[in-house]
A and B are shown apart, each in its own frame.
Chain A
């Protein structure tokens, strides 16, 4: 049920959550608009620029809506959304890997990419190199690299989102960066 009350777009997350829980759909729309770029960055870095990425993004927002009543505010809303996006991306990658193992008996991921006409060739090549190199990382390393280096979360925040000890995040980051650098050296 939607309450007709108009919510200002500059409302705090807490106010938006309260309004959403009171049945105000407009408030939830503001949350979606506020965090869609963050979700996109996370999902695209995790699964690549593929059509399914939008489905994962939509599912992230639906799951957020369904679990909003359990949000206690211990972490920020952005962290909470990012955790959902990462978990759904990892689920997708696991399912995809299982499908490939089933059909081809081969666990390597295939990068399906959509060219972006807004980039020039050099930028496009660089983006492709980064994206392709990211896709070569194992999902657990990719998640750490995405959050820590692309999204710019701190090590502690990354650990909180992935629900891992800080030490594990640091070791995965070091190994992930090392592998990423090897890949990038071949491509750039």
Chain B
């Protein structure tokens, strides 16, 4: 490339008047930022509520099953393992039953 053309191009581009954003750009950015943060907080709060809505009934149900099955809690459980299954009443599940489920 010709050196003179090269310099001319450099000059032309450096003088190229730059466009600007519409007035109030920083206001729009700050508004969007606060909206995004508010949306994120709302999402976190909803996620937390959903977690409690699901996990609390599950925990309550597990506790209830433990209470119901605690009578079958005997030394044989310790000998043959399956403490959790016994407590939750799952020790009676057979392979056939699992297939049905």
A interface residue numbers (CB < 8 A to B): 25, 28-29, 32-33, 36-37, 39-41, 44-45, 49, 53-54, 57-58, 61-62, 65, 116, 119, 123, 126-127, 130, 145, 149-150, 152, 174, 177-178, 180-181, 184
Contacts and interface: CB of A to CB of B under 8 A. Distances in A.
Given A57-B25, A177-B1, A178-B1, A44 B18 contact: yes
A184 B9 contact: yes
A126 B5 CA distance: 16
Interface stretch (B27-35, B64-72, B80-88): B27-35
Contacts of A178: 1
B93 to A, nearest CB: 48
A37 B16 CA distance: 14
Contacts of B12: 126, 130, 184
A39 B25 CA distance: 11
Contacts of B25: 32, 36, 40, 54, 57-58
B20 A62 contact: no
A48 to B, nearest CB: 9
B9 A58 contact: no
Main secondary structure of the interface of B (DSSP, over half): helix
Interface of B: 1, 5-6, 9-10, 12-14, 16-22, 25-26, 28-30, 32-34, 36
B100 to A, nearest CB: 49
Contacts of A177: 1, 6, 9
A22 to B, nearest CB: 15
Contacts of B26: 29, 32-33, 36
B33 A65 contact: yes
B45 to A, nearest CB: 16
Contacts of B21: 36, 39-40, 53-54, 57
B20 A40 contact: yes
24 contacts: A32-B25, A32-B26, A32-B29, A37-B18, A40-B25, A44-B18, A53-B21, A54-B28, A58-B25, A58-B28, A61-B29, A62-B33, A116-B19, A119-B17, A127-B17, A130-B12, A130-B16, A149-B13, A150-B16, A150-B18, A174-B1, A177-B1, A181-B6, A184-B12
Contacts of B17: 119, 123, 127
Contacts of B16: 127, 130, 150
A58 B22 CA distance: 12
A77 B28 CA distance: 21
